[in-house]
């Protein structure tokens, strides 16, 4: 997979990206049902009318069957005409094909839920959309699928403006959390569904179904019904169905969240393998699981409150978050309120700490003036345990009192009250871990301490 670096430029700076024809195997003009696995989250009640489908299953693949109805549903965004269009913060890698959000704004009943999204998913790239609940991730995906119409902006797939095209003409495959298989159809029939709708020649269909089932390891299950499959197997069938149409773009909306932890990790590896086998397929992957995003994505786009907050490679976002929000959402972070003290140092209560200043690797622009408040991001694993009375050569030492010790198998997570914050430190599996009440000292390197604009720093943040 490609590993382009994060960019702060807008699309204007990279005009060719996403504008050239797709190289992926997706049909440019798929027939109805081409996105046969294309159903929005669990069900698309608003996409169902007029589809001529048979009874919708509990986890309705309504959209799969009903693409044409989308433009008429209540789901269609109004055009308020007042949508803010902020400058984009990301540009994609320079590979043709893929998806381009050209300042896409989506509103429901006049309320903007996606605000001027300016983002490119390069040809063959895996882009994770990561963000808290309600941040607009699924809405962005649905704008690509054609289930929601932007109030402003354009969506391009493979360089072609698809904003006004119905879903079935977009050459997309889509997989959602709840599998959305037709319960009354066998596995092979489910997989064949989109191909028939796409009017693939009858003689070709068995081969295409077999190919998709093989790719997903489901060859032996062709004649079963969904109820005879486990959740993981059903999701494989849903993926097979999406792949059978040979889409140029694969949209995955929390595809693993209905699975248990072990299955999730297995399926994650499967998805990575599938992507290696289909290097031209661009994947947009909606998740709020940072591990999934870090594992699978070439780049991660972080959304919050309807806006793109940051975009970059997993490593870049993790090592050099630009905002406290990104730092807390991509990986775990201790976020400490500090004051700039000049010459690459900050003050945290009575401690002076050497830090990575703004702009060093992270592109945070000008640093805070001396005495100004800022946020310091230190990852839990960057903290090293040392004795309370030691005076190491490096200046970055925080003294505190252990408030809790959690054994996590390969690490001990220490919670430490220090300098007005509760720090989290992941310090390896200790033979003799400290106990609550013990005084300890933690040290860290300046390059592991990233200075960020002030904000979000009440005693640390992050998940896990």
Q: Answer yes or no whether residue 139 interacts with ligand ATP by CB under 6 A.
A: yes
DSSP 357: -
Tell me the closest approach of the beta carbon of residue 132 to ligand ATP, in angstroms: 7
Residue 291: name the closest of 332, 322, 258, 319 by CA.
332
What is the C-alpha to C-alpha distance for residues 397 and 338, in angstroms, rounded to an integer? 14
Q: Give Cα 275 distance to the centre of its chain.
A: 16
Instruction: Choose which of 11, 19, 44, 75 interacts with ligand ATP (CB under 6 A).
Output: 75
What is the C-alpha to C-alpha distance for residues 47 and 72, in angstroms, rounded to an integer? 8
Q: Which two tokens stand for residue 62?
A: 């309504």
85, 288, 310 from 131: Cα distances, Å:
20, 6, 10
141, 157, 160, 226, 446 from 284: Cα distances, Å:
7, 12, 17, 26, 35
Tell me the closest approach of the beta carbon of residue 117 to ligand ATP, in angstroms: 11
Instruction: Choose which of 50, 110, 134, 371 interacts with ligand ATP (CB under 6 A).
Output: 134
Site for ligand ATP in 317-336 (CB under 6 A): none
Q: Answer yes or no whether residue 131 interacts with ligand ATP by CB under 6 A.
A: yes
Q: Which two tokens stand for residue 175?
A: 């997989």
Q: Which stretch binds ligand ATP (CB under 6 A): 17-25, 126-134, 319-327, 443-451?
A: 126-134
Contact (CB, 8 A) for 347 and 338 = yes
Residue 62: name the closest of 46, 41, 35, 44 by CA.
44
Tell me the closest approach of the beta carbon of residue 136 to ligand ATP, in angstroms: 4
Q: Which stretch binds ligand ATP (CB under 6 A): 51-59, 135-143, 149-157, 259-267?
A: 135-143
Nearer to ligand ATP, 75 or 118 (CB): 75
The residue count for binding ligand ATP (CB under 6 A) is 12
Return the bridge partners of 252, or none: 175, 285
Tell me the closest approach of the beta carbon of residue 59 to ligand ATP, in angstroms: 15
DSSP 333: B
Site for ligand ATP in 102-121 (CB under 6 A): 108, 113
Q: Which stretch binds ligand ATP (CB under 6 A): 64-72, 131-139, 209-217, 385-393?
A: 131-139
Nearer to ligand ATP, 67 or 400 (CB): 67
Site for ligand ATP in 264-293 (CB under 6 A): 288
| Chain positions contacting ligand ATP, by CB under 6 A | 75, 108, 113, 131, 133-139, 288
């Amino acid at each position: 997979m490609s590993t382009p670096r994060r960019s702060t430029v807008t699309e204007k700076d990279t005009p060719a990206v996403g504008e050239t024809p797709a190289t992926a195997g997706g049909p440019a003009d798929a027939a109805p049902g081409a996105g046969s696995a294309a159903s929005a989250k669990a069900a698309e009640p608003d996409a169902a009318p007029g589809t001529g489908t048979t009874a919708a299953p509990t986890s309705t693949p309504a959209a799969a069957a009903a693409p044409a109805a989308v433009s008429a549903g209540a789901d269609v965004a109004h055009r308020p005409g007042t949508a803010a269009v902020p400058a984009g913060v990301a540009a994609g890698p320079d590979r043709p094909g893929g998806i381009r959000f050209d300042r896409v704004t989506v509103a429901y009943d006049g309320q903007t839920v996606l605000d001027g999204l300016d983002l490119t998913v390069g040809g063959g790239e895996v882009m994770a959309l990561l963000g808290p609940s309600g941040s607009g991730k699924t809405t962005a995906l649905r704008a690509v699928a054609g289930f929601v119409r932007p109030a402003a902006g354009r969506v391009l797939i493979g360089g072609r403006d698809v904003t006004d095209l119905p879903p079935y003409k977009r050459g997309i495959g889509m997989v959602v959390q709840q599998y959305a298989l037709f319960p009354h159809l066998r596995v092979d029939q489910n997989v064949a569904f989109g191909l028939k709708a796409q009017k693939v020649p009858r003689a070709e269909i068995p081969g295409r179904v077999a190919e998709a089932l093989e790719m997903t390891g489901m060859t032996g299950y062709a004649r079963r019904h969904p109820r005879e499959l486990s959740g993981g197997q059903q999701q494989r069938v849903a993926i097979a169905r999406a792949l059978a149409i040979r889409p140029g773009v694969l949209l995955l909306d929390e595809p693993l969240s209905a699975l248990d932890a072990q299955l999730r990790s297995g399926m994650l590896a499967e998805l990575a393998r599938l992507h290696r086998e289909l290097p031209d397929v661009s994947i947009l992957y909606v998740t709020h699981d940072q591990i999934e995003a870090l594992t699978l994505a070439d780049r991660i786009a972080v959304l919050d409150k309807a806006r793109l907050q940051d975009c970059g490679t997993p490593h870049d976002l993790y090592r050099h978050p630009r905002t406290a929000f990104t730092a807390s959402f991509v990986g775990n972070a201790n976020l400490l309120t500090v004051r700039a003290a000049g010459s690459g140092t900050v003050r945290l209560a009575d401690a002076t700490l050497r830090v990575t200043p703004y702009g060093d690797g992270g592109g945070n622009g000008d640093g805070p003036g001396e005495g100004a408040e800022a946020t310091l991001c230190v990852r839990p694993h960057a903290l090293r345990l040392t004795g309370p009375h030691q005076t190491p050569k490096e200046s970055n030492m925080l003294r505190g009192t252990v408030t809790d010790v959690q054994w996590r198998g390969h690490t001990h997570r220490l919670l430490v009250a220090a300098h007005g914050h509760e720090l989290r430190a992941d310090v390896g599996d200790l033979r003799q871990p400290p106990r609550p009440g013990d005084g300890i000292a933690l040290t860290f390197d300046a390059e592991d301490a990233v200075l960020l604009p002030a904000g979000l720093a009440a005693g640390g943040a992050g998940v896990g």
